[in-house]
Structure 1
Amino acid sequence: MCQLLGMNCNVPTDIVFSFTGFATRGGRTDNHNDGWGIAFFEGAGVRHFVDYQAADASPIARLIKQCPIKSKNVIAHIRKATQGQVALENCHPFVREMWGRYWVFAHNGDLKQFAPALDGQFRPVGNTDSELAFCYLLQELRRRFGDAMPALPELSAALRALTTEIAAHGVFNMMLSDGSALFAHCSTQLHYLVRQHPFAEAHLADEDMIVDFSQVTTPQDRVAIIVTAPLTANETWLPFASGELKVFVEGEPVTLYA
């Protein structure tokens, strides 16, 4: 299946270190070579890059590794196709507008007998179960809350119910962000860590690369990294529980009550 990478921070931060290790899994250290993509939030806008080439061989991926784009919320994806052909329109993450802001979504998994009726403005362009699930999520959120975006606790409660419903059809590891929070749901495998003061060195597991984060951060910085499988060999990654939805705001998981 595919793999996911997300970043949520309290200050704009670049994802070059994590993405370098992650992209290596797209054709070199692993076989997720059916396309890749990444989306960075910047203010109300989104920088969105996708490619049907394997991430390890993609010139666009090399550009991202060399370009320290800073963002508070990032979602990336490397694809091993289970549904839908290898094509640009089937590359994650997917982007849609709702409530006057962009929403970015990526999925790792395989949904069987999942054919919800779509009767609103959100329709898939490609032919993956992932984009269909994204459109259904947005449709049902819009159905519940109308034209006004709810507060974060109410939104999180609705997403918990919807992700549980969709996950009944198979594996539904996913990430979703509107640029202010990052939502991550685990069916089978997700891990996270929070880097904050005092910062230390980190060693990539898939690439010969070390960064001393104490040299490139301030004591106030806080960065949450969420990924399918741990990216570094010398840090403690915390696993999600199966069926768990976590919400990350300002670089840390938050507990919300609707």
Structure 2
Amino acid sequence: MCQLLGMNCNVPTDICFSFAGFRARGGLTDHHRDGWGIAFFEGAGARVFLDPSPSADSPVAELVKHYPIRSLNVIAHIRKATQGEVRLENTHPFQRELWGRYWIFAHNGNLKNFAPTLTGRFLPVGTTDSELAFCYLLDRLAQRFPQGTRDIAELHAELRVLAIEIGSHGEFNFLLSDGDQLFAHCSSRLCYIVRKAPFPVAHLADEDLTVDFNEVTTPLDRVAVIATTPLTDNERWTQIVPGNLLAFRDGEPVALRDTSTVAQDYPRGTVTNA
């Protein structure tokens, strides 16, 4: 199973702490060695780092680990190849333009017999089922909203339909963001935590690193972190119920019709690694 990491905040925030633990899963504490990538939204731009090497050994990952890039939305991925060779073009997250803004997408799962018809506006460069699904998803959004939309409820409703359709071909855990909000779909395994005042002292599960967020935040900061499995071993993470699509904005899930945030909590002090 690939590893997903997302962050959505109400103020620009760096992801150095979470990424330090996440990076270790790419060949050190887990067996995912087929490449990794991370994307940061900065205003209308997106800063993307990709490397087909294991993240635990990657000099690019070492740079990101110590580079405090501040962003409202971040998506990262560690790959365990199921479809497509280990090559740069098959490395997540993927990036495309729609409605004059960038979209970033990363997928965890394996889609079988998935061969949709594309209009040609969005075409995969690599050979993964993930990039094909992303192109199809954007194709459908472009057809559904030819003039574009920034209505989070409209986007959520259409993405929910697409997640069900594409997910009928296999596991379809994914993270998707246009820089305004971040969508997280759980097909089998995905969890999140919202950090806000009073902030915790957090300890990574994959690396012996602790941070007191009270020392590096303000009382008004709010940060949602989404991951395949919990990144810390002393906080309570919320498991997203399989089959649900959550929308995050300003560092917390948005209450939308047909979106269930009722979830199963991981007990404090317990980490369930794949």
TM-score range, shorter chain: over 0.9
1:117-142 Cα distance to aligned partner (Å, 9 max, x none): 11131000000000000000000001
Determine the structure 2 residue equivalent to 1:97: 97
**Distance (Å, rounded) in 2 between the aligned partners of 1:120 and 1:185:** 25
Q: Is 1:66 the equivalent of 2:73?
A: no
Q: Is 1:142 the equivalent of 2:167?
A: no
1:75-94 matched pairs, under 5 angstroms: 75-94=75-94
**Distance (Å, rounded) in 2 between the aligned partners of 1:103 and 1:243:** 22
Determine the structure 1 residue equivalent to 2:178: 178
For structure 1, the 5+ residue unaligned runs are none
SS in 1 for 2:126: coil
Determine the structure 1 residue equivalent to 2:205: 205
Determine the structure 1 residue equivalent to 2:269: none
- RMSD, aligned CA: 0.8
What residue identity is the alignment partner of 2:39? A
**Distance (Å, rounded) in 2 between the aligned partners of 1:86 and 1:147:** 37
Shift, 1:2, TM fit: 0.6
**Distance (Å, rounded) in 2 between the aligned partners of 1:257 and 1:12:** 28
SS in 2 for 1:50: strand
Aligned length: 258
Determine the structure 2 residue equivalent to 1:54: 54
What residue identity is the alignment partner of 1:34? D
SS in 1 for 2:143: helix
Large movers: runs of 4+ above 3 Å: none
User: Normalised by the size of structure 2, how large is the TM-score?
Assistant: 0.93
1:140-184 Cα distance to aligned partner (Å, 9 max, x none): 001111122251111110000000110000000000000010000
**Distance (Å, rounded) in 1 between the aligned partners of 2:62 and 2:138:** 32
Shift, 1:257, TM fit: 3.6
SS in 2 for 1:148: coil
For structure 2, the 5+ residue unaligned runs are 259-274
Q: Is 1:7 the equivalent of 2:7?
A: yes
Determine the structure 1 residue equivalent to 2:218: 218
What residue identity is the alignment partner of 1:87? R
SS in 2 for 1:134: helix
1:223-250 Cα distance to aligned partner (Å, 9 max, x none): 0000000000000000011110000000
1:71-118 Cα distance to aligned partner (Å, 9 max, x none): 000000000000000000000000000000000000000000000011
**Distance (Å, rounded) in 1 between the aligned partners of 2:142 and 2:121:** 10
1:17-70 Cα distance to aligned partner (Å, 9 max, x none): 000000000000001110000000000000000000000000000000010000
What residue identity is the alignment partner of 1:187? S
**Distance (Å, rounded) in 2 between the aligned partners of 1:97 and 1:151:** 18
Moved more, 43-52 or 149-158: 149-158
What residue identity is the alignment partner of 2:106? A
**Distance (Å, rounded) in 2 between the aligned partners of 1:148 and 1:110:** 30
Sequence identity percentage: 65
Determine the structure 1 residue equivalent to 2:242: 242
1:107-118 matched pairs, under 5 angstroms: 107-118=107-118
SS in 2 for 1:6: strand
**Distance (Å, rounded) in 2 between the aligned partners of 1:51 and 1:230:** 24
User: Normalised by the size of structure 1, how large is the TM-score?
Assistant: 0.99
Q: Is 1:24 the equivalent of 2:24?
A: yes
What residue identity is the alignment partner of 2:203? H
